[in-house]
Structure 1
Amino acid sequence: MKNLKSIALALVVALGTLSASAQTKKVDVSKSTINWVGKKVTGQHEGTINLKEGALVFKGKKLKGGNFTVDMTTISATDVSGKSKAGLDGHLKADDFFGVEKYPTSKLVFKTIADKGNDVYTVTADLTIKDKTNPVTFDITVKGKTATTSFKVDRTKFGIEYNSGSIFSSIGDKAINDEFDLTVNLQF
């Protein structure tokens, strides 16, 4: 009985040490940025979108997890102004694209993380846009109180098919690339 109590106590201490060593660091959404680029046959557009909340999980200095919520209602083009900007922003928020009235947020949850060395990690995460979840894989660099990454997202995997050349072959120069680029700079 005494040995059983000793083993139980050792397990409690070990588990407490493991959970105590994991540290969650909230992302400062006011200092973090997400930039996007969407390309089409005749050019491209770029802009920003804001994080609603996010956190990275560390064990010691090693990245072990992360989860983020993006405020889709903040999607905004930065390469046009006036009526062109209002029209593009409105279209991106409409059902043809992100349908922000029905789907005001998107989520990214880290699932696996491989340490590549030199503060670089390969992450596979579940990305949810418009209630559709698909995996994405990207490298992220963590230095000091910043984390940066760039990756591509195939919008058609999330039901965003508007003017997709791979789906609508007859649209010619009105085709919009299926993939859009995200560049993320997190401050925590």
Structure 2
Amino acid sequence: KGHLESDDFFSAEKHPEAFFKITSAEMVANAPAGQPNYKIKGNLNIKAITKSIEFMASVETMDKTLKTKADFDLDRTQWDIRYASGKFFPSIGDKMINDNFNIKLNIVAKQG
């Protein structure tokens, strides 16, 4: 919070929401048990900038419940988050912040 909400990062006051819209979910044939079994593709909107992304996810269904888990990295500079980026400020030295950030999803959806 705080600095992450500022214009240096997510510009939360100007862009209070980010969203992801799935465009396809493709089952991976013969995926080993416990390994990701779907390739998810979609559009991620951050700071009013939309980029296509894809990642692997584990999806399981039981009765009327869907469980999805995923763990993947994204490059923040794709959404114009440049603060302390070595890509844009190569002379920044040890004050550089990694351009990649990690997303971990754990979604449980139950049919009503």
With the length of structure 2 as denominator, give the TM-score of the two structures. Answer: 0.83
Q: Are 1:159 and 2:80 matched, yes or no?
A: yes
- Residue 92 (str. 1) matches residue 9 (str. 2): no
Alignment correspondent of 2:60? 143
1:115-126 equivalence runs, <5 A: 115-117=27-29, 118=31, 120-126=37-43
Code of the aligned partner of 2:20: L
The residue number in structure 2 matching 1:103 is 15
Larger radius of gyration: 1
The equivalent residue for 1:113 is 25
Question: How far apart are 1:113 and its partner, in Å?
Answer: 2.3
Aligned residues: 100
SS class of match (2:3): helix
Correspondence 1:128 to 2:34 = no
Per-residue CA distance 1:96-137 (angstroms, 9 max, x = gap): 001111111101011122210347110111100000011111
Q: 2:108 matched to 1:187?
A: yes
Bigger proportion of residues as strand:
1
Q: TM-score, normalised by structure 1?
A: 0.51
Rounded to whole Å, the distance in 2 between the matches of 1:129 and 1:153 is 12
Unaligned runs of 5+ in 2: none
Larger proportion of helix: 1
* 1:148-177: CA deviation from partner (whole Å, max 9, x where unpaired): 011111111111000001110000001011
Other structure's SS at 1:187 match: strand
User: Percent of pairs identical after alignment?
Assistant: 36
Superposition RMSD on alpha carbons, in Å? 1.3
